[in-house]
Amino acid sequence: MICDVCRAREAEVYQPHSGKRLCRKCFIEDVRARVKEESLKIGLDKANKILLAVSGGKDSYVLADTLASFIDPQKLIAYNITEGIHGYNRREQIEQLRKYLSSLGIELIEDSFKQSVGYTLDEMMKYSIGKGLNVSACTFCGGFRRKLINNAGRAVSADYVATGHNLDDEVQAIVINLIRGDLLRLIRFADKPIKLSSKFVLRVKPLRKVYEWETTLYAYYSGYQFQELECPYISTRPTLRAKVRELLYMLEDKKPGTLLTILEEFDKLAEKVRNQTQLKDELPTCKICGEPTSYGREICKNCELLISAGLLNYHQNLPMS
């Protein structure tokens, strides 16, 4: 079968959402074109510096590769965090990532929870369980990761922080926030990000219109040596996401293109809601770490977690040894 786009090479990929059969080259070009379109819409091409939050998984490689195909790599800087999860964080994986990024001309900054928070994720969990808390590792991990990525973006004076979230991740998050009825959080998932604090670097997701199966195939065709190990804490993840994921796959299977339609319709709706919503003032800052926190809070969720695990002394404002 011949590729529907170039009409020259053999087709290897069937794209259910477009109904097209594509050769490898046209498939790669198609993904890059969608990432470029989304990025131009946000204005990434006009940025002076973009921090890429890279985990070492397949989406990080695809993010760096697609952005470097139309943005000067000198304007891109990658940032990786080692969470400190025994058996999961591996040195060779970071070296592999560094080698690949360097081949694209992108520098990599390395950080870790141990270095910037004072504890590895395993240590946080050990203390948290010791105190009888019932908080999942992902709550600690996600919260501190967001904070450190934002700090890193500010430190390098980035105009944007780009993450490797794909279409599947994005639609799952939208549906979860719809179920929770969190409007303010919900409109933050729209294509044009909003800034609720001068301390926030705008977060963007250039892969948000690319299906997960496409990032997997892109990574496979490109021969990336990405991290394939599963995090040992994944089984403790909140179950709502798994259920929503299952439901969305069922819908996509019955009607290919459903995820894309949901996202596109959501973007239109979010634009209207945003125009009619009176955004509140600047977010308050945490009394301990000085970073933005939710309205009505004096201490951010991250500092609160450390205090409850007995890892931070509120009065001395220092990690406890």
Pairwise CA distance, residues 101 & 107, whole Å: 7
**Residues 6 or more apart in contact with residue 89 via CB below 8 angstroms:** 82, 83
Is 231 a binding residue for ligand SF4 by CB under 6 A? The answer is yes
Q: Is 126 strand, coil or helix?
A: helix
Is 307 a binding residue for Zn ion by CB under 5 A? The answer is no
Please report, as a single letter, which amino acid is at residue 58: K
Is 141 a binding residue for ligand SF4 by CB under 6 A? The answer is yes
Taking the CB of residue 35, how many other CB atoms lie within 10 A of it?
A: 24
- 144 or 189: whose CB is closer to Zn ion? 144
Site for ligand SF4 in 70-89 (CB under 6 A): 83
Strand order in the sheet with 76-82: 107-112, 76-82, 50-53, 160-162, 202-204
Q: Which of 26, 174, 187, 270 binds Zn ion (CB under 5 A)?
A: 26
Is 135 a binding residue for ligand SF4 by CB under 6 A? The answer is no
Is 129 a binding residue for ligand SF4 by CB under 6 A? The answer is no
289 binds, among ligand SF4, Zn ion, none (CB under 5 to 8 A by kind): Zn ion
Helical axes 91-104 vs 58-68, angle rounded to 10° = 10
Residue 140 Cβ vs ligand SF4, minimum distance, rounded to whole Å: 7
CA angle in degrees (0–180, nearest 5) for 116-120-123? 135
Is 52 a binding residue for ligand SF4 by CB under 6 A? The answer is no
Is 148 a binding residue for ligand SF4 by CB under 6 A? The answer is no
233 binds, among ligand SF4, Zn ion, none (CB under 5 to 8 A by kind): ligand SF4
How many residues contact ligand SF4, by CB under 6 A?
9
- 154 or 237: whose CB is closer to ligand SF4? 237
Q: Which stretch binds ligand SF4 (CB under 6 A): 37-45, 96-104, 228-236, 278-286?
A: 228-236
Q: Which stretch binds ligand SF4 (CB under 6 A): 43-51, 109-117, 229-237, 302-310?
A: 229-237
Inter-residue contact 256 to 211 (CB < 8 Å): no
- 19 or 142: whose CB is closer to ligand SF4? 142
Pairwise CA distance, residues 160 & 50, whole Å: 5
Tokens for 93, please give them: 């994986």
Residue 27 Cβ vs Zn ion, minimum distance, rounded to whole Å: 8
Is 142 a binding residue for ligand SF4 by CB under 6 A? The answer is yes
Binding mask 257-296 for Zn ion (x = CB under 5 A): -----------------------------x-xx-------
**Residues 6 or more apart in contact with residue 273 via CB below 8 angstroms:** 183, 187
- 53 or 137: whose CB is closer to ligand SF4? 137
Is 138 a binding residue for ligand SF4 by CB under 6 A? The answer is yes
Radius of gyration of the chain (CA): 20
Q: What is the dihedral of CA 52, 55, 61, 66, to 10 degrees?
A: -30
Inter-residue contact 77 to 109 (CB < 8 Å): yes
Is 53 a binding residue for ligand SF4 by CB under 6 A? The answer is no
Q: Is 309 strand, coil or helix?
A: coil
Pairwise CA distance, residues 321 & 312, whole Å: 9
Pairwise CA distance, residues 166 & 307, whole Å: 34
Site for ligand SF4 in 234-253 (CB under 6 A): 234, 237
Inter-residue contact 74 to 59 (CB < 8 Å): no
Is 13 a binding residue for Zn ion by CB under 5 A? The answer is no
Tokens for 52, please give them: 């890429």
Interface ranges with ligand SF4 (CB under 6 A):
83, 137-138, 141-142, 231, 233-234, 237
Interface ranges with Zn ion (CB under 5 A):
3, 5-6, 9, 23, 26, 286, 288-289, 300, 303
